Structure 1
Amino acid sequence: MNAVVNDWPSAQTLPSVRAELNYLKPGESRPVSYTFDPPAGVPWTTGAVAPQRVTIRDGRPLAALGEFSLDKSGFQLLGHRSALSDFSDEAVIRSVYHEESAQLLRKATGAEKVLVFDHTLRDSALGSRANAALREPVRRVHNDQTFVSGPRRVRDHLPPEEATERLKHRFAIVNLWRPLSTVERLPLALCDARSIAPEDLVPSDLVYRDKVGETYSFLHNPAHRWYWFPKLRPDEVLLLKIYDSRSDGTARLTAHTAFENPADAPDAPPRRSIELRALLFWSAAQAT
């Protein structure tokens, strides 16, 4: 992890909002979340939250200056119009959108190989944690992988021999997040990787029907620097660093969460989005 940044003079004058983010309550045992209906009497999620009121700054001015990148801040805003306008057909998403996104990620990162391994559609009005086809936005500060589960993803999705070879060189996991309509409520807040300390991370179990994955929950740290991109449009995407094997000061992950922006109209349309997750691999020559 990078050293915590405490002095951010260039960000102090940015437009901002004060909003509550749901951090993990200190002292909780290892949190557990289910991706399907849990057994009778077992809660969907354990690990009490401790809402914290924080400043979330408008990231658009800094993005225009090139201040954010996957390897520096752990997230990046890009303009990109999808060839797909209708995201109702799962087969078309996999055949068209996955390949389109892989090409975008290769171009943005220089990775030799990009392997998209899943996607999630979300709708704040119709989505549900019980519906794998249409989820609700996640309102807890989190990161989708850990330093343990990141390498597991390589073994999960590549043949054994190729996985062994790829694990010798740099690889990463990146989420590509796109709104399906202009975001007017429950926007995504992103934490600059340079403001995250190792002790902020809490490994947490994510239970699938066939395995148990591992994600990070986060403890509150007043040094965290949060940003959002107001009125994000469908022709814009956010790239989020979820894991990076490189440990030379490169951003290895970030934290993110949906949040209630007090400036948004209460009758604003629901937030609809798609997030796509991909493994990125660099060759031995690129990784040096």
Structure 2
Amino acid sequence: MNQISSSFVSAGSAAASPRQRPAEVVAPLTFITPQAQKPVFYSQAFTGGKAQYRFAVEEHPVPIADMRRLVEAPSLDREGFALREAPSWVRNLHDDDAVEGAYFREIAALLTREFGASRVAIFDATRRSDSGQGARNRDGNRGPASRIHVDYTARSGPQRARDVLGSQEVARLEAEGARLVQVNVWRPIRGPVRRAPLALADARSVKPEHLVATDQIFPDRVGEIYHLAYDPAQRWYYAPEMTVDEVLLIKGWDSLEDGRAQYTPHSAFQLPEQDPGAPPRESIEVRTIVVIE
């Protein structure tokens, strides 16, 4: 098995740009507008073309701080996300076989060390690009996700765990007091990222009433995600100029309800002085269920 090491990437690491950067940028993020009926999102797989949204959105300019400047590393259990240095041996992340083989094994090893996990189940990988055409995936091309969202909810997180691990296995794990965590591992395919980086909310600043459950319609099932309503008290971070040797770990759901972060809203955004001539952002995100017994 290929192995990757991981560590917190600080402001003084090789990943940080030598030129001076502001401590924060102000950029518009796209929030859902609260409505009386439950919002619905029809996926590309369902429509056969562009995704369709049955809800309104609104943009708000927000300050987005440089997480590399934090004195204390962001934490999955505190803020809901973490930045790690984790070089990969896989050179071609556009190769489906390499991703689903060696790269998945690397990601499983990374999360096993991160959590002291007994098992890491990987169930999906998605490439994205802001090139205009999107990035190729088995189910079609994908661009950056531009609406603030969380991939899972209090209902769909446990259901996804049952889908991936099996209902009987999840019942056994629950009976034995195991913890289940849905984690996305986001990596640039090319770097440094100078277009469409990710903004991530500090989970501690997100009030439960601002997480808006939204039905996500697929050809064979109905999922559920959270969109986020705007609150000026929300705190936002990003990692400037991420390299291919770095990953963001993003928590989508945690079975523990003890005050730690459970859901991490996130979205791509446009930098205020983004160079349209910079190389397109290309990234890959791997979705996992982490089992901690």
Superposition TM-score tier, normalisation by shorter sequence: 0.7 to 0.9
Counterpart for residue 257 of structure 1: 267
In structure 1, the gaps of 5 or more residues are: 1-13, 284-288
Out of 13, 25, 34, which is 1:17 matched to? 25
Taking structure 1 as reference, are residues 250 and 18 closer, same or farther at Cα in structure 2, changes over 3 Å only? same
Structure 1 outlier segments of 4+, above 4 Å: 37-43, 128-131
In structure 2, C-alpha distance between the alignment counterparts of 1:101 and 1:41, rounded to whole Å? 31
Out of 107, 120, 134, which is 2:113 matched to? 107
- The yes-or-no answer on 1:248 pairing with 2:258 is yes
TM-score w.r.t. length of structure 2: 0.86
Contact kept, 8 Å, 2:215 with 2:225, in 1: the verdict is yes
RMSD: 2.0
Taking structure 1 as reference, are residues 149 and 81 closer, same or farther at Cα in structure 2, changes over 3 Å only? same
Counterpart for residue 235 of structure 2: 225
- Once the two structures are superposed, the pairs formed by residues 69-88 of structure 1 within 5 Å of their partners are 69-88=75-94
Counterpart for residue 63 of structure 2: 55
In structure 2, C-alpha distance between the alignment counterparts of 1:30 and 1:196, rounded to whole Å? 20
Residues 196-235 of structure 1: per-residue CA shift (max 9 Å, x gap): 1111110001111110110001100111100011101100
Residues 136-172 of structure 1: per-residue CA shift (max 9 Å, x gap): 1000010000010011012101233212112332111
In structure 2, C-alpha distance between the alignment counterparts of 1:80 and 1:42, rounded to whole Å? 34
In structure 2, C-alpha distance between the alignment counterparts of 1:28 and 1:55, rounded to whole Å? 29
Amino acid across the alignment from 2:180:
F
Counterpart for residue 215 of structure 1: 225
TM-score w.r.t. length of structure 1: 0.88
Amino acid across the alignment from 1:187:
P
Amino acid across the alignment from 1:56:
I
In the TM superposition, what is the alpha-carbon distance from 1:42 to its structure 2 partner? Answer: 9.9
Contact kept, 8 Å, 1:111 with 1:280, in 2: the verdict is yes
Out of 182, 186, 205, which is 1:177 matched to? 186
Contact kept, 8 Å, 1:36 with 1:130, in 2: the verdict is no
Counterpart for residue 134 of structure 1: 141
In structure 2, C-alpha distance between the alignment counterparts of 1:54 and 1:159, rounded to whole Å? 41
In the TM superposition, what is the alpha-carbon distance from 1:282 to its structure 2 partner? Answer: 1.1
In structure 2, the gaps of 5 or more residues are: 1-21
In structure 1, C-alpha distance between the alignment counterparts of 2:143 and 2:118, rounded to whole Å? 33
